[in-house]
């Protein structure tokens, strides 16, 4: 039987037998495939080399080279530490924020605990973390590496956890009701509602976390604990060594290498993620199409990457979603209405263990604190007052410019394409790397060290506010903007009735995390090694840094407890009330 043939005028409507996938154009696709293959090969070799070094014996005398030729290797070391710390931070933040937002009982404990943890400086975690890791791996370099990664983790995780928790608490009621109507399982609600609604805030706070990791990299890769000197090869230790020696040329080389890494991360990671995250914007009308970046188009043509995603990643994600949803449904149908006694006894046992551990730690801490005199506590109280003043001045100065700038960047896609990489680079350059140059200029003036400390705290904390304000401005629904245009709001009315209420939850998160970041930054801003000397100004941060250098654990413990107490009281009096206001009045409700 002959094949049926259509008239010629319909032949153009018949699709070709085989559609070539995007990126299958020769020879461009072949070049991209080869480049991706080489990148994977180099990454595998790098992982192998680093694993061999980490599992090797401890090197007690690490010399940090100041040669510019070593910078690519040092950059790779630092980038791997930052990447591992960020992965741990993201997983921890999602679990912590979800539990705090979904369980009222857990919220009563986890939110105050989060306030305390984000207020404790990195150097206060340092003794316990490093001694524990070195004790676990006494003969392997892995202990020191894990200690450094965990210290970077403590500087990255808290603002991501606050962002996710805030997003879950400000979820629109109609979305929650829709999830109930469609009988979403816990996994489906998490994957289909919680994560998508929180994506924009998570992306921008992730960028801020990585930038914060660069900020504390100098303190996490090279530090002194009593009579022990811990050094790890990386960009942070390179810059710290250059700053200690007053080597301006090496500082500039290190900053240039860091800028190069940040630019690559921005082009290859953050820009594609930001373009992808725009589809999770909460809209009730169709928004304008966002223009993809050139690097996104370039990656979109990579047939190798597309085939790997379609063949491996997409089926795995689909299988996980179906499996968890089905398993959750079965577990819910088979669950008994009564509580299982064994679970109750397990919780009681866990509570007893936690209570005993806290009692033991309190007794040991009390013995340490008993060694200090009344004069020591009086000095720490005065130091806390000075640092408290610097923290609030830096927050005020930071908010004055970051709020209007963040709204402008988040509301204007064209400006965002230009300003976003600049902001990312500026936030990722550690102010501690530029601190020697700042000192050379300001130390000639009266009160130069005080001004330098305030400026360094400002440079280290203003980005928390800016990134959250940008995320809030980007998340403003298009329909609300159109309403403001229809009713011809003046600039003042737009700010009063649309912008400030819309970004309020993000602004509170930014100010809260910036406050914790300012207290953390005080340990570097108030005490600095420069040209073989120690430059310091009175404050709680300098007390903590000095105690860490000398191994005075009693002073370190007392100063850390004072700082945590102050931050918790501020959170209770101010930030907690603002959070309630954001969740009750300034969330997107239909």
Buried b (16+ CB within 10 A) or exposed e, 265-285: bbbeebbbbbbebbebbbeee
Measured CA distances, 331 to 28, 326, 339, 510 (Å): 51, 9, 14, 39
Lookup result for tokens 């810059």: 239
Give me the phi and psi of 413, to 5 degrees please.
-60, -35
**Cα angle 349, 354, 358; round to 5:** 150
Count CB neighbours of 85 within 10 A.
24
> How is residue 174 written in tokens?
């109609």
Contact 201, 475 (CB under 8 A): yes
| Separation between Cα atoms, residue 234 and residue 254, nearest integer Å | 10
Contact 421, 266 (CB under 8 A): yes
| Separation between Cα atoms, residue 295 and residue 214, nearest integer Å | 24
Lookup result for tokens 């609030």: 392
Measured CA distances, 455 to 120, 243, 521, 561 (Å): 21, 17, 11, 25
| Separation between Cα atoms, residue 297 and residue 276, nearest integer Å | 12
Helix axes 500-525, 576-584, angle to 10 degrees: 160
Contact 171, 197 (CB under 8 A): yes
pLDDT given at position 412: 85
Which ranges of 226-301 does DSSP label H, i.e. alpha helix?
A: 235-245, 248-265, 271-277, 294-300
Give the residue from 119, 109, 110 showing the smallest Cα distance to 565.
Answer: 119
Give the residue from 134, 158, 159, 156 showing the smallest Cα distance to 145.
Answer: 134
Give me the phi and psi of 530, to 5 degrees please.
-145, 120
CATH number of 65-291+372-584: 1.10.3720.10
Q: Which long-range contacts (CB under 8 A, 24 or more apart) does 123-128 make?
A: 123/219, 123/223, 123/523, 123/544, 123/545, 123/548, 123/556, 124/544, 124/556, 124/559, 124/560, 124/563, 125/150, 125/151, 125/154, 126/151, 126/223, 126/225, 126/548, 127/225, 127/548, 127/553, 127/556
Helix axes 71-102, 195-215, angle to 10 degrees: 140
Contact 134, 90 (CB under 8 A): no
Please report the beta strands in 188-244, taking only residues with DSSP state E, as ranges in sequence order: 222-225, 228-231
Lookup result for tokens 């942070």: 236
- Whole-number CA gyration radius for the chain: 26
pLDDT given at position 4: 43
Contacts of 154 (CB under 8 A, 6+ apart): 117, 120, 122, 125, 129
> How is residue 116 written in tokens?
């305390």
pLDDT given at position 14: 41
pLDDT given at position 311: 65
| Strand (E) or helix (H) holding 133 | helix 122-136
Measured CA distances, 115 to 120, 509, 576 (Å): 9, 12, 10
Contact 156, 209 (CB under 8 A): yes
- The domains of the chain are located at 23-56+292-330, 65-291+372-584
How much is the pTM? 0.70
| Separation between Cα atoms, residue 137 and residue 481, nearest integer Å | 57
pLDDT given at position 401: 92
Contact 409, 423 (CB under 8 A): yes
Count, in order, helices (H) and strands (E) of the chain. 27, 4
CA 298 to chain centre: 27
Give me the phi and psi of 563, to 5 degrees please.
-65, -45
| Separation between Cα atoms, residue 126 and residue 140, nearest integer Å | 19
Give the residue from 111, 103, 216 showing the smallest Cα distance to 153.
Answer: 216
Q: What is the pLDDT along the chain (590 residues), one digit of tens a residue?
A: 444 444 444 444 444 444 444 444 555 556 656 665 666 666 666 666 676 667 667 666 677 888 888 888 888 888 888 989 999 999 999 999 999 888 888 888 888 788 777 767 666 666 677 777 777 777 777 888 888 888 888 878 888 998 898 888 888 888 888 888 888 888 888 888 888 888 888 888 888 888 778 777 777 787 766 666 778 888 888 887 887 777 878 888 888 888 888 878 877 788 778 777 777 776 555 555 454 444 445 444 444 444 555 666 667 666 666 666 555 555 555 544 445 556 677 767 777 777 787 777 778 777 777 888 888 889 999 999 999 999 999 999 999 999 999 999 988 888 887 887 788 777 767 666 667 677 777 777 777 778 888 888 888 788 889 988 988 888 888 888 888 888 888 888 889 888 888 889 889 888 888 887 788 778 878 887 766 677 788 888 888 888 877 777 788 888 888 888 888 888 888 888 887 887 777 766 54
| Separation between Cα atoms, residue 563 and residue 548, nearest integer Å | 15
Contact 470, 406 (CB under 8 A): yes
């Amino acid at each position: 039987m002959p094949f049926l043939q259509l008239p010629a005028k319909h032949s153009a409507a018949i699709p070709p037998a085989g559609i070539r996938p995007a990126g299958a154009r020769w020879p461009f696709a072949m070049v991209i495939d080869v480049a991706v293959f080489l990148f994977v090969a180099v990454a595998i070799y790098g992982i192998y080399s680093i694993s061999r070094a980490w599992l090797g014996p401890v090197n007690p005398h690490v010399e940090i080279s100041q040669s510019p030729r070593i910078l690519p290797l040092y950059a790779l070391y630092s980038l791997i530490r930052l990447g591992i710390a960020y992965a741990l931070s993201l997983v921890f933040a999602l679990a912590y924020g979800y539990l705090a937002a979904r369980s009222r009982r857990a919220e009563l404990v986890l939110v105050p605990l989060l306030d305390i943890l984000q207020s404790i400086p990195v150097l206060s975690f340092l003794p316990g973390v490093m001694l524990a890791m070195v004790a676990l791996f006494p003969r392997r370099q892995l202990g020191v590496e894990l200690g450094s990664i965990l210290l970077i983790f403590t500087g990255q995780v808290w603002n991501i956890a606050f962002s996710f928790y805030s997003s879950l608490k400000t979820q629109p009621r109609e979305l929650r009701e829709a999830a109930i109507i469609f009988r979403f399982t816990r996994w489906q609600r998490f994957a289909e509602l919680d994560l998508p609604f929180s994506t924009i805030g998570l992306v921008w706070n992730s960028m801020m976390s990585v930038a914060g990791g660069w900020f504390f990299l100098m303190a996490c890769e090279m530090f002194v604990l009593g009579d022990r000197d811990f050094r790890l090869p990386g960009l942070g230790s390179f810059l710290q060594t250059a700053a200690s020696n007053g080597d301006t040329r090496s500082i500039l080389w290190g900053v240039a290498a860091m800028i190069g890494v940040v630019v690559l991360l921005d082009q290859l990671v953050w820009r594609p993620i930001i373009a992808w995250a725009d589809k999770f914007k909460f809209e009730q009308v169709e928004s304008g199409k966002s223009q993809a970046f050139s690097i996104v188009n370039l990656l979109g043509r990579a047939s190798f990457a597309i085939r790997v995603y379609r063949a491996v990643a997409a089926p795995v994600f689909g299988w996980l979603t179906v499996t968890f949803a089905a398993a959750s449904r079965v577990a819910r149908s088979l669950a008994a209405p009564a509580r299982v006694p064994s679970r109750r006894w397990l919780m009681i046992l866990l509570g007893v263990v936690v209570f005993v551990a806290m009692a033991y730690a309190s007794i040991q801490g009390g013995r340490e604190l008993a060694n200090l005199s009344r004069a020591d506590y009086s000095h720490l109280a005065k130091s806390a007052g000075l640092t408290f003043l610097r923290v609030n001045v830096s927050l005020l100065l930071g908010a004055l410019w970051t709020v209007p700038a963040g709204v402008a960047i988040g509301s204007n896609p064209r400006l965002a394409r230009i300003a976003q990489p600049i902001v990312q680079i500026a936030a990722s350059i550690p102010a501690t790397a530029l601190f020697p140059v700042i000192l050379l200029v300001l130390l000639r003036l009266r009160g130069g060290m005080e001004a330098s400390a305030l400026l360094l705290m400002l440079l280290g904390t203003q980005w928390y506010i800016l990134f959250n304000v940008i995320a809030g401005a980007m998340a403003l629904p298009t329909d609300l903007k159109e309403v403001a245009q229809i009713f011809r709001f003046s600039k003042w009315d737009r700010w009063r009735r649309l912008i400030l209420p819309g970004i309020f939850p993000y602004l509170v998160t930014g100010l809260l995390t910036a406050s914790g970041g300012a207290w953390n930054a005080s340990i570097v801003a108030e005490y600095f090694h420069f040209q073989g000397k120690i430059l310091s100004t009175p404050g709680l941060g300098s007390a903590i840094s000095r105690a860490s250098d000398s191994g005075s654990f009693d002073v370190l413990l007392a100063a850390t407890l004072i700082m945590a107490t102050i931050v918790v009281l501020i959170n209770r009096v101010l930030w907690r009330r603002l959070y309630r206001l954001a969740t009750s009045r300034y969330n997107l409700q239909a």
